[in-house]
Amino acid sequence: MIFHSTPSHGGFELSVEANARVHEAWRNANRFYEEDLDWAKVAHAFPHLFTAYERKQADLTLRNWEPDAYEQVFGLALEPGQRERGGREGGASAR
């Protein structure tokens, strides 16, 4: 796993083996996970590399921005109030 950083952006690059550990609902075929959203997928797959605070933020990020995949990964149905933002998957907004 490599973290790339530039003055304006960055993210994780995973090896083929590490990428296989990312749940298929969140796995990026190109093995790159940008720092704005996709980092949370890496944190979910490798929780031992992140702090408790970061793991909590990763959970919130994935729940809010990829709620359909979140439900699939965790085998649950989010209530409307549990989707705080309209994410990429068109989740209901609680604003």
At 15-65, the pLDDT tens digits run 999 999 999 999 999 999 998 899 999 999 999 999 999 999 999 999 999
Q: Give the confidence band of 91 by pLDDT, cuts at 50, 70, 90.
A: very low
For the chain, the three-class secondary structure string (H helix, E strand, C coil) is CEEEECCCCEEEECCHHHHHCCCCCCCCCCCEEECCCCHHHHHHHCHHHCCHHHHHHHHHHHHHHCHHHHHHHHCCCCCHHHCCCCCCCCCCCCC
Tokens coding 70: 């979140």
Owner of token pair 């408790």: 52
